[in-house]
Amino acid sequence: MPKVPVMQAVVEVLKSEGIDVVFGCPGAAILPLYKAMEEDGGIEHLIVRHEEGATHMADGWSRTTGNVGVAIGTSGPAGTNMITGLYTAQADSVPILCITGQAAVSKLHQEAFQAVDIVSIAAPVTKWAVQVKEAAQMPWIFREAFRIARSGRPGPVLIDLPIDVQKQEIEWDSTIDEPLPVPKSAPSDARVERALELLLAAERPLLLAGGGVILGEASDELLELAEFLQIPIQATLMGKGAIDEDHPLYAGMTGIQTSQRYGNASFLESDLVLALGARFGDRHTGDLATYRGDRKFIHVDVEPTQIGKVFGPDLGIVADTKLFLKALLDKAKQHGPREQGGWVERCQELKRTLLRREDFDTVPVKAPRVFKEINEFYGPDTYFVTAIGLYQIWSGQHQKAHKPRHYQVCGQAGPLGWEIPAAIGVKKARPDAEVVGVVGDYSFQFLVEELAVGAQYDVPFVLIMLNNEYLGLIRMAEDHGGYDMKYEVDIHYDTTGSDNVKIMEAYGCSGIRVADPGEIRASLEWARKEADRTSRPVLVEIMIEREGNTANGTSIAAMKEFEPIP
């Protein structure tokens, strides 16, 4: 078997695993990997301005492709800067691989420059964190990392590479090497049978599409089952896009923040919920006693420890969502169509009547009007990213999603600054697609330096900023959450605070500020053309009312609506 530099083997492994682009920042302790990438070719590299940005780019790329995104950093603070991205990926079940350089093995116990125990630091926010001390193990550890990242509930892994190990040679032949198989969990036949029995016995059942439907590529099977049995579908925030929201069987989103009024109403009237790849997050369920009520729950999840974590379901099933839905559909077809009542029509009536107003013409702009314009202007093939804040809650409440993997949100971790690097990752995954980030004025500046990456590498996308010159979500919590204060949440100064258009221009990008709702459509048209013209990020900054609030509550049965109900 031929002898090759070990990092050449690593590069070949990466390419064979489907990696054609990586995001990172070179440093002294990772240069052997960079040398191998330069000599071997075939992997594009984008140099980031902050290692957290690299992880979020890999995250956006992964959410779009379904493959494992890769971020690279050197030793010490590079790895610690990646922790937020690892946590974000772990929380949302996103498979990414972080590769870090490290001091030589002989120096690890001597507090060498930038030598930190990144494996121990990363362990709580990864599926696997490992340091390679034997060069001959390197290809196999990378193969195992990809297998672990993809298997079961997907998630992040970290591989730490001491500099002396990176410089060695190993015996390795790429022509007889290939990715490790990733088995899928098939459901128990008896449990599928019981699930069908419960569904057929229910008068008002719902199918609840969690993020596991999208991760499991099970949207087609979900819709086929729903149409055959005529059962309405709801989506969680992470499942948004699993079904076209204009489909007659879409019954909305339940929750105490990112919810639709008709979604909460239809959920409260349901008597059985079949939850698919959902983790029953607290901002979905709200008060558990109300959420559970008298209805029955079937919980399907690929990860056994998710079942019963929040509450014990009436039936738990460990299975890949796609395999489960196929098995359930087969049994349903053997049984025949479900006896119909008026449940579908009832959900459709709620969807027609229990809405939130969007047609505001007032100045300053009311946020729901922004999403009315977004829904009317952009087509179903547009990719959206958004992070955390009032703007993201408004997006979840008002913005329509039509296809899987086209609406991407960092759900459980909610790191500010996620949008710009995530949009870069999405655009690198789908170069011909239109990519749009919905961002707040505060989140915009957390990783604003990554605009330089979009400019340097000609990565065009549009940022739509809702600017209220506040930490809006925290201001609302302080003002309406029982604290009766507005302490240290106002970021307004001078006339309009930071000049975000000039910030864009400083990075060689473009921007426009909008203050009137009648100007929003024209600004979106301009931004599309400007992104095409410049091949760089473009900002549409919309000045919204400073103290607008999103509908919210502690129970799905007691939501507070701040705007007039249409």
DSSP 105-155: GGGTTTT-TT---HHHHHGGGSSEEEE---GGGHHHHHHHHHHHHHSSS--
Mean pLDDT of 440-464: 95
Segments in 465-519 forming alpha helices (H): 472-480, 500-506
pLDDT tens sequence across 160-172: 999 999 999 999 9
What are the Cα distances from residue 455, in Å, to 93, 210, 460, 463?
A: 30, 35, 8, 14
Q: Among 487, 489, 488, 514, which residue's Cα sits nearest to residue 500?
A: 514
pLDDT tens sequence across 340-353: 889 999 999 999 99
Q: Is the pLDDT of residue 391 over 80?
A: yes
pLDDT tens sequence across 22-53: 999 999 999 999 999 999 989 999 999 999 99
**Local confidence band at 106 (pLDDT 50, 70, 90 cut-offs):** confident
pLDDT of residue 107: 79
User: Distance between CA 149 and CA 134 in Å, rounded?
Assistant: 22
435 or 2, greater pLDDT: 435
Strands 3-5 and 169-171 turn out to be antiparallel
pLDDT tens sequence across 184-193: 999 999 999 9
Residue with tokens 């729901």, as numbered in its chain = 368
Domain positions in the chain are 3-174, 189-353, 367-543
Q: Is the pLDDT of residue 212 over 90?
A: yes
**Local confidence band at 121 (pLDDT 50, 70, 90 cut-offs):** very high
| 70 membership: H or E segment, kind and range | strand 69-73
174 or 481, greater pLDDT: 174
| Percent share of the chain, pLDDT over 90 | 83
User: Distance between CA 532 and CA 379 in Å, rounded?
Assistant: 17
Q: State both tokens at 147.
A: 């297998």
Mean pLDDT of 413-419: 89
Sign (positive/negative) of CA torsion 415, 416, 417, 423?
positive
Q: State both tokens at 470.
A: 């506040």
Mean pLDDT of 533-547: 95
Per-residue b or e along 272-296, where b marks 16 or more CB atoms closer than 10 Å to that residue's CB:
bbbbbbbbbbbbbbbeeebbbeebb
pLDDT of residue 336: 82
Classify residue 370 as exposed, middle or buried by CB count within 10 Å of its CB (0-12, 13-18, 19+). Answer: buried
CATH architecture of residue range(s) 189-353: 3-Layer(aba) Sandwich (3.40)
Task: Work out the mean pLDDT of the chain and round it to a whole number.
Answer: 94
Q: Is the pLDDT of residue 566 over 80?
A: no
**Local confidence band at 544 (pLDDT 50, 70, 90 cut-offs):** very high
User: Distance between CA 216 and CA 66 in Å, rounded?
Assistant: 9
pLDDT tens sequence across 233-273: 999 999 999 999 999 999 999 999 999 999 999 999 999 99
- Tell whether omega for the bond before 364 is within 30 degrees of 0, i.e. cis: yes
User: Distance between CA 233 and CA 495 in Å, rounded?
Assistant: 46
Q: Among 42, 40, 34, 37, which residue's Cα sits nearest to residue 18?
A: 42
pLDDT tens sequence across 277-326: 999 998 899 999 999 999 999 999 999 999 999 999 999 999 999 999 99
pLDDT of residue 551: 87
Q: Among 259, 225, 243, which residue's Cα sits nearest to residue 396?
A: 259
**Residues contacting 353, CB < 8 A, separation 6+:** 262
Rg of the chain over Cα atoms, rounded to whole angstroms, equals 24
Per-residue b or e along 525-556, where b marks 16 or more CB atoms closer than 10 Å to that residue's CB:
ebbbebbeeeebbbbbbbbbeeebbbbbbebb
What is the length of the chain?
Answer: 566
User: Distance between CA 259 and CA 246 in Å, rounded?
Assistant: 16
User: Distance between CA 142 and CA 6 in Å, rounded?
Assistant: 12
Name the 3-class secondary structure at 376.
helix
Torsion angle defined by CA atoms of residues 59, 504, 258 and 286, in that order, rounded to the nearest 10 degrees: 70
**For 3-174, CATH number?**
3.40.50.970
| Domain 189-353 matches domain 367-543 at the CATH topology level | yes
pLDDT of residue 454: 97
User: Distance between CA 287 and CA 310 in Å, rounded?
Assistant: 12
pLDDT of residue 361: 92
pLDDT of residue 560: 87
pLDDT of residue 469: 83
Residue 183's φ and ψ, nearest 5 degrees, are: -70, 150
User: Distance between CA 461 and CA 511 in Å, rounded?
Assistant: 12
pLDDT of residue 215: 95
Strands 315-318 and 296-301 turn out to be parallel
pLDDT of residue 95: 98
pLDDT of residue 559: 87
490-496 long-range contacts, Cβ below 8 Å, gap at least 24?
491/441, 491/442, 492/546, 496/467, 496/469, 496/543
Q: State both tokens at 259.
A: 């919810």
Q: Cβ(543)–Cβ(254) under 8 Å?
A: no
**For 367-543, CATH number?**
3.40.50.970
136's torsion region: left (phi>0), alpha (psi -120 to 50) or beta? alpha
The residues that bridge with 512 in the sheet, in sequence order, are: 540
User: Distance between CA 34 and CA 27 in Å, rounded?
Assistant: 9
Tally Cβ neighbours within 10 Å of residue 506: 12
Q: How far apart are the first and last CA of the chain?
A: 73
pLDDT of residue 195: 97
Q: Among 105, 82, 86, which residue's Cα sits nearest to residue 94?
A: 86
**Local confidence band at 451 (pLDDT 50, 70, 90 cut-offs):** very high
